[in-house]
Chain A
Amino acid sequence: MAENIAIDLRAVSKVFGSGPDEVRALDAVSLQIRDGEFFTLLGPSGCGKTTLLRLLAGFEQPTQGEIRLHGQELSGLPPFRRPVNTVFQSYALFPHMTVAQNVSFGLEMQGTSKAEIGRRVDEMLELVKLAGYGRRKPAQLSGGQQQRVALARALANRPKVLLLDEPLSALDLKLRKEMQIELKRLQNDTGITFVFVTHDQEEALTMSDRLVVMDSGKALQIGSPREIYEHPENRFVADFIGETNLLVARVDSADGESGTFRLPSGARVQGRSRDGLSAGAEVTLALRPERAELSDDPDAPLRGRIENVVYFGTDTLYQVSVNEVGLFRVRSQNVNGGMAAAGIGSTVGISFAPDAIQVLRD
């Protein structure tokens, strides 16, 4: 398996400044990025995503820990010796050069022959659908086109890893959706490992093979979009990705696989468990709104009064106020023409399947 690892971070920390100004931008981050995968760093602004990319690119050196690229220790290797290229957040296109000159820059630095450079530049512009734009200056292009030039420029050197720092954040929604598909296609076509940064959870879920959720310089959870969404390990991840209902409960009984939890209302619910739970301990349970349903079963584990009904087209959101829990959200698919199952003010039960309950590690 080891040869499949493109990037291996081992307890990497990065501290800026010293004394009272000290900022720990990365705090003992360990993660492995597989060769050829679309890997995403997801987290709120200021959580250290850019810092992590800059460490990979070589613009910053880790304060602690080590970074390996295909087994090679990177420390001390300057940016221009790393087989890694970056698509910068601001694009950073050279304003005094034409599009073609921008794209050929890296090739010239590598000492590629003139004929080969011409061929590769055409190929790259073709790849990003900008054939014929080679003689323009960056300032004569739209934001989306500049974005593509930045991509072509970074891909021209055929890097082992491509780093993308929020490349889509400056684009409007429609263009962003197009570029998301485009990026996936490029990654498929080239087979290059993409390390993609975003603070947009939807973007991260739809594009990534795997992702890491970061907060305050820490890597909180690493996994496939499905793992992260369905089985968030802690409150931050559960909250940051999608909507979630949080319930405080006490462990009744639990083994490694499943457990019974007692809600403040006294109701007992079944759920997926995890190691190290002892009876009587207080835990937080997470439950996605779409995994819960309204029911008229009198034994439903939660009961409450519908406060609000919001129609979303594909589904409807019910906000149910539940004693000792607060506002609980239930989403149900609009399969029968979108007629609300119950109106505001009516009292309903809420039920869910045992595997919908996730015990958080806090």
Chain B
Amino acid sequence: MSTREAQAERPVEPQAAPQSAPQAAKGAMRGDLGAVRREMARRLALLTPAMGIIILVMVVPLALMLTYSFLTSARYGGVIWEFSTDAYLQFLFVRDLDDSLLFNDTYLRIFARSFGLSLATMGVALLIGFPAALFIALQPPKYRTMLIFLVTIPFWTNLLVRNYAWILLLRDRGLINNTLMDLGVISQPLPLIYNNFGITLGLVYSFIPFMVLPIYASLEKLDWRLVEAAYDLGANRWEALKRVIIPLAKPGIIAGSVLVFVPSLGAYITPQLLGGGRNLMIGNLIQLQFGASQNWPFGAALAFILLAIVLLALVLWALRARRSGTSLKEVEIG
């Protein structure tokens, strides 16, 4: 009998001690499927509490919302348990008197404005956040922790309070306009609030730590000798930044951008207070449906359309990143 057959018969071989660990594991898997299954069951059992929480706090509410979005709106809020796609149709169309559908871009415009404002917020946050993160990363280690701590301080007070503070600063008779007028720099108050400027400013202020922290994390890991190598090869500061620092900080820049863009899109308090209710964003529109308009299915549908768009954008982006990843592997082989 060959040793191979012997091994097949006796999966756990006593003489297998000098075998390398992976080989031994393979032998065990090949031989003792029952043990493997038990191990899987054990792992599954360990995962159950976490899975339970995720299902309870994420899947159940989302499923509820999805259900509501396909129900019929009751007149004074709530829903009637009757299937309907009206909520989704309402996003793009209005029903004419003869029941035909007319294209209506009101809500699309609000979505477009939200995306525009969120992109602007992301851009401004990046323009401020990257230099800030770079500055912190270049400080001696003992100051860095302190500076990062300072970056997170706005998180310590309530968002509502912070937005009211901005109103006090920005309104026509606010600190900024009053000071400028007292100094005689301007004669009319600057329109700083209740417009897109006010909203963008408020959003940038609210979310900038989400930009600074991931960028700082990737800059802190950066091997600064690479920057010296760039200088050594004739790169000035700007070239070194463009060719070495920014490409190596890219994971942080992307993470920061997503972390600022996505919550901006759903922001509610800031556009409400600093936009003065005149410049709706998606968040306000959704809130309106559950509140004043008492159209729950439409509110739920809006939330799902937003979710779908964001997910689609992230998936497309991830696919693109993966594709450039694969092309790298091709180079590896070629």
Q: Is the CB of B244 within 8 A of A94?
A: yes
For residue B138, give the distance in angstroms from its CB to the closest CB of chain A.
Answer: 15
Interface of B is mostly: helix
Q: Is the CB of A80 within 8 A of B231?
A: yes
Q: Quick check: B328 and A137 within 8 Å, CB to CB?
A: yes
Q: Mark each residue of chain A from 309 to 342: 1 if its CB lies under 8 Å from any CB of chain B, else 0.
A: 0000000000000000000000000000000000
Q: Closest B-chain residue to A140, C-beta based? A: B332
| Bound CA–CA A88/B235 (angstroms) | 16
> Are B233 and A153 in contact, CB atoms less than 8 angstroms apart?
yes
Q: Which residue of the partner chain A has the closest CB to B247?
A: A96
User: Could you tell me the distance between the alpha carbons of A110 and B228 in the complex, rounded to whole angstroms?
Assistant: 16
Which of B226, B236, B328, B331 sits near A94, CB closer than 8 Å?
B226
When distances are taken between beta carbons in the complex, the residues of chain B under 8 Å from A153 are: 233
Interface residue? B201 (CB, 8 A): no
User: Whose C-beta in chain A lies nearest to the C-beta of B232?
Assistant: A86
| A115 within 8 A of partner (CB) | no
Interface string of B233-256 (1 = CB under 8 A from A): 111100100011001100000000
Chain B contacts with A in 241-285, Cβ cutoff 8 A: 243-244, 247-248
Q: Are B225 and A109 in contact (CB under 8 A)?
A: no
- Enumerate chain A residues within 8 angstroms of B223, measured Cβ to Cβ: 90, 92
Query: Does chain A have a CB within 8 A of B229?
Result: yes
A192 to chain B, nearest CB (A): 15
Q: Are B229 and A157 in contact (CB under 8 A)?
A: no
Q: How far is the CA of A110 from the CA of B233 in the complex (A)?
A: 9
Does B217 lie at the interface of the complex (its beta carbon under 8 Å from any beta carbon of A)?
no
A105→B243 contact, CB < 8 A: yes
Provide the residues of chain A in CB contact with B234, threshold 8 Å: 80, 106, 109-110, 157
A124 to B334, CA, bound (A): 21
Q: Is the CB of B229 within 8 A of A137?
A: no
**Total residues of chain A contacting the partner, CB 8 A:** 28
Q: Does A295 count as interface, using CB distance less than 8 angstroms?
A: no
Q: Which residue of A lies closest to B250 (CB)?
A: A96
Q: Check B230 for interface membership: any CB of A closer than 8 A.
A: yes
Q: Which residues of A contact B229 (CB under 8 A)?
A: 86, 88, 92-94
> Would you call B225 and A105 a contact (CB within 8 A)?
no
Whether, in the assembled complex, A78 has its beta carbon less than 8 Å from a beta carbon of chain B, the answer is yes
Check if A98 is an interface residue, CB within 8 A of chain B: yes
Contact A98 B331 (CB under 8 A): yes
Question: Which residues of chain A are near B228, meaning CB under 8 Å?
Answer: 59, 79, 88, 92
Q: Contact partner of A136 among B225, B239, B331, CB < 8 A?
A: B331
Q: How far is the CB of A93 from chain B (nearest CB, A)?
A: 8
Q: In the bound complex, how far is the Cα of B334 from the Cα of A135, in angstroms? A: 8
A153 → chain B closest CB, angstroms: 7
By the criterion CB–CB under 8 Å, are A92 and B225 in contact?
yes
Asked if residues B248 and A88 are in contact (CB atoms below 8 Å), the reply is no
CB distance from B122 to the nearest CB of A (A): 23
Select from chain B the residue with minimum beta-carbon distance to A54. B228
Residues A109 and B232 in contact, CB atoms below 8 Å apart = no
Cβ-defined contact, B331 with A105, below 8 A: no
Contact code string A95-122 (vs B, CB < 8 Å = 1, else 0)? 1101000000110011000000000000
Q: Give the Cβ gap from A49 to chain B, nearest Cβ, in Å.
A: 16
Convert A209-238 into 0s and 1s, putting 1 for each residue whose CB lies closer than 8 angstroms to a CB of B. Answer: 000000000000000000000000000000
Residues of chain A within 8 A (CB-CB) of B231 are 58-59, 78-80
Distance in Å from the Cβ of B14 to the closest Cβ of chain A? Answer: 38
What's the nearest-Cβ distance from chain B to residue A17, in Å?
12
Contact partners of B232 in chain A: CB under 8 A: 57, 59, 79-80, 84-86, 154
CA distance A219 to B244 in the complex (A): 36
Are A109 and B334 within 8 A (Cβ)? no
Most buried by B among A86, A88, A92: A92
Q: A80-B235, A96-B247 given. 6 additional CB < 8 A pairs?
A: A59-B231, A80-B233, A84-B232, A105-B233, A140-B332, A154-B233
A to B CB contacts below 8 Å, 24 in the list: A57-B232, A58-B231, A59-B231, A78-B231, A78-B236, A80-B231, A80-B234, A80-B236, A86-B232, A88-B225, A88-B228, A90-B223, A92-B228, A92-B229, A93-B229, A94-B226, A96-B248, A98-B331, A105-B230, A109-B239, A110-B234, A135-B331, A135-B334, A154-B232
Listed in ascending order, the chain A residues whose CB lies under 8 Å from chain B are 57-59, 78-80, 84-86, 88, 90, 92-96, 98, 105-106, 109-110, 135-137, 140, 153-154, 157
Residues of chain B touching chain A, judged by Cβ–Cβ distance below 8 Å, are 223, 225-226, 228-236, 239, 243-244, 247-248, 328, 331-332, 334
